[in-house]
Amino acid sequence: MTATRVTSTEGELAAITVTLSAPSTQTVTVDYATKDGSAKSINGDYVATTGSLTFAPSETSQTIILEPLDDTAVEQNETFLVQLSKSGECDLGDSHQRTVIILDDTQQCVALRRTTT
């Protein structure tokens, strides 16, 4: 994968590009899956996804589209992972996992002010 981190605001699609280090003369298939970090798919932070990327001979890049979900909660930025696996045609090396950062888009509505008595 080409990016170490991907950043997306809640409710905006995020894309991770997966790139082969060199063109192949055969078809290459790589599986991918999201994995919870501080963002939890069960809590509605993002849409969990799994799938496969199939690179035709001489094709070197494919894109995974991810969907962080919007909510009204005031919270810290959250993260989840995208992991690559199961490729008999190539070595995944150290580049098999990337972090997706979801930026919270909800403004805090409460402010504390110092008062004098």
Please write the tens of the pLDDT for every residue from 14-25. Answer: 989 888 888 989
Residue count of the chain: 117
Residue 4 — pLDDT band, cuts 50, 70, 90? low
**Which tokens go with 89?**
């045609």
Query: Which residues lie closer than 8 Å to 93 by C-beta, 6 or more apart?
Result: none
Residue 105 — pLDDT band, cuts 50, 70, 90? low
More confident site: 76 or 109:
76
Listed in order, strand segments (DSSP E) in 56-104 are: 61-68, 78-85, 97-103
Task: Assess contact for 63 and 15: CB atoms under 8 A.
Answer: yes
Instruction: Give residue-wise pLDDT tens across range 46-72.
Output: 999 999 999 999 999 999 999 999 887
The mean predicted confidence, pLDDT, of the chain is 83
Pick from 46, 24, 28: nearest CA to 36: 46
pLDDT at site 1 = 47
Going from the N-terminus, what domains does the chain have, and what CATH number goes with each?
Answer: 5-103 (2.60.40.2030)
